[in-house]
Amino acid sequence: MATQRRAVVLLSGGLDSTTVLAIAVREGFEAYALSFRYGQRHTVELDAARRVAEALGAARHVIADIDLTVFGGSALTDNSIAVPHHDSVDDLTADIPVTYVPARNTVFLSFALAWAETLGASDVFIGVNALDYSGYPDCRPEYIAAYEQMANLATKAGVEGRRHLKIHTPLIQLTKAETIRLGRDLGVDYALTHSCYDPVDGRACGSCASCLLRARGFTELGLTDPALAPAG
Amino acid sequence: MATQRRAVVLLSGGLDSTTVLAIAVREGFEAYALSFRYGQRHTVELDAARRVAEALGAARHVIADIDLTVFGGSALTDNSIAVPHHDSVDDLTADIPVTYVPARNTVFLSFALAWAETLGASDVFIGVNALDYSGYPDCRPEYIAAYEQMANLATKAGVEGRRHLKIHTPLIQLTKAETIRLGRDLGVDYALTHSCYDPVDGRACGSCASCLLRARGFTELGLTDPALAPAG
């Protein structure tokens, strides 16, 4: 039996990263799921990440502690900046929102790179999306390509020519509805996931950008987002 | 009076990064010194970083907590791997040593990038050296160039064309002796610094790669490394 290839999968516990984990597993990778406790307000998402990693059969799930609150500058890590709420998804603009965390994906990918090197893995999966998150600079294909190039100069394995690190971004050109359809085909239970920027008592608010984009995806498929279903 | 430009300076408290901080200050930057508590055995270096930041007049000094121990793989973060000791600097080889921390500079630069974006800074200083540390992939000029390119695609300011992030590596082609001479010209007190990988009771061991390379630099200048002077 061939040894299963290992991949590091960045897992927030949200809709996108959960779908990505399902894709990595389906592609035959032994998945090492990586989450972060980075000072975000909504640690409820880490509970979702734990549930999802277990449900989808990750080989291991690590939550790394990193401290982004020392820098501030985002509504997700700085309590003095409020998360915006909107009446409708049509009210979202293409501007970079205050929920943008400076250099977050760069930091997350750097940890994934460190773990990949330790594991002897050549593959990293990240659920960035260039359509719904056009306002986030670190979700674009040209950014990912530049990161991959840098990463292959950064590591022992890259320098020794033993491995070429590949960053997989299977959702980068998908709409939210396409992502949800793909995930459902792979058997993902989205009731386990959590995407809300500003949950109340652990429940999705329904009116932040993340909730609105996600709900629209389900609506386009004639479905209801299970995260917004009434508490049972 | 013109507003002073801000720079983030990665500061371990060792000889190289201390010299780099002195250079940034001399070049007229308002220096924001950044250190990490990353699970390294020798937290004594953080005390050195604090002393150095104060002595050289950093505008602010932040120690960010990050957890690299969850990945292991280096003698500096994994207690099951011993730091090598050598009789002489001639015993060091060009191989990548076990003290290499996977993707460490990539992780450190990512945090520097996050802080730079929050501060509105366009400049990051790092004390990498391609000569003494030829075995570390993430100390080479081609790595730094690739990182800079990636960073300019990663951030709000880069995307909006407001800023071009520059990574300064003033020591990259200097020998240790040249670095020490430069630092002494800038008034650096190397007695404040700490470079040892494996200190005993807070004192430099004198026989790890870091101690040996540093001591040779002082010797070449006809000096004695103050870190190896008998306790006063």
What ipTM score was computed for the predicted complex, to two decimals?
0.86
Taking only the tens of pLDDT, chain B with its 232 residues reads: 457 899 999 999 999 999 999 999 999 999 999 999 877 666 788 999 999 999 999 999 999 888 777 776 655 566 666 666 777 767 666 555 556 667 889 999 999 999 998 898 999 999 998 886 656 788 899 999 999 999 999 877 777 777 789 999 999 999 999 999 999 999 999 999 988 888 888 888 888 888 998 999 999 999 999 988 765 5
Stated pTM of the model = 0.88
A63: DSSP letter? E
Residues of A with CB under 8 A from a CB of B: 62, 64-68, 70-73, 96, 100-107, 109-111, 113-115, 117-118, 137-138, 140, 142-143, 146-147, 149-151, 153-156, 158-159
CA A193 from chain centre, in angstroms, equals 11
Q: Please report, for residues A220, B71, B86, the alpha-carbon distance to residue B39 in angstroms, rounded to integers and kept in the order given.
A: 47, 11, 24
Q: What is the pLDDT of residue B161?
A: 72
Q: What is the pLDDT of residue A94?
A: 57
Residue range B6-225, CATH number: 3.40.50.620
Say yes or no for a CB contact (<8 Å) between B110 and A110. yes
| CB < 8 Å to A62, chain B | 70-71
CA B164 from chain centre, in angstroms, equals 23
**Maximal C-alpha separation, chain B:** 55
| CB < 8 Å to A110, chain B | 103, 106-107, 109-110
Among chain A residues, CA nearest to B160 = A137
Say yes or no for a CB contact (<8 Å) between B158 and A146. no
By the 10 Å C-beta count (0-12 exposed, 13-18 middle, 19+ buried), B185 is classed as exposed
- 3-class secondary-structure state, position A154: helix
Q: Which residues contact A144 (CB under 8 A, 6 or more apart)?
A: A126, A128, A167, A169, A172
By C-alpha distance, which of A135, A82, A149 is closest to B156? A135
The distance of B5 to chain A (nearest Cα, Å) reads: 18
Residue B168's DSSP bridge partners are: B125
The string of pLDDT tens digits covering residues A182-220 is 999 999 999 999 888 888 888 888 888 889 889 999 999
Q: What is the pLDDT of residue B35?
A: 95
Taking only the tens of pLDDT, chain A with its 232 residues reads: 457 899 999 999 999 999 999 999 999 999 999 999 877 666 788 999 999 999 999 999 999 988 777 776 555 566 666 666 777 767 666 555 556 667 889 999 999 999 998 888 999 999 998 886 656 788 899 999 999 999 999 877 776 777 789 999 999 999 999 999 999 999 999 999 988 888 888 888 888 888 988 999 999 999 999 988 765 5
The number of beta carbons lying within 10 Å of the beta carbon of residue A28 is 10
Among chain B residues, CA nearest to A144 = B150
The answer to whether the beta carbons of residues A121 and A113 sit under 8 Å apart is no
User: For chain A, what percentages of helix, strand and coil (3-state, to nearest 5) are there?
Assistant: 40, 10, 50
| CB < 8 Å to B105, chain A | 154
| CB < 8 Å to A156, chain B | 96, 100, 102, 137
Among chain A residues, CA nearest to B150 = A146
By C-alpha distance, which of A173, A36, A82, A226 is closest to B110? A36
- Measure CB to CB from residue B118 to each of A72, A115, A150 and give the nearest one: A72
**Residue of B74, B136, B156, B164 for testing the chain A interface, max A β-carbons within 10 Å:** B156
| CB < 8 Å to A100, chain B | 156
Say yes or no for a CB contact (<8 Å) between A73 and B117. yes
| CB < 8 Å to B96, chain A | 156, 159
Separation between Cα atoms, residue B19 and residue B132, nearest integer Å: 15
Q: What is the pLDDT of residue B1?
A: 47
Q: If residue B167 lies in a helix (H) or strand (E), which one and from where to where?
A: strand B166-168
Residues A6-228, CATH architecture: 3-Layer(aba) Sandwich (3.40)
**Residue of B74, B110, B115, B140 for testing the chain A interface, max A β-carbons within 10 Å:** B110
Say yes or no for a CB contact (<8 Å) between B143 and A150. yes
**Angle at B220 (CA atoms; ends B219, B224), nearest 5 degrees:** 25
Q: If residue A108 lies in a helix (H) or strand (E), which one and from where to where?
A: helix A104-119
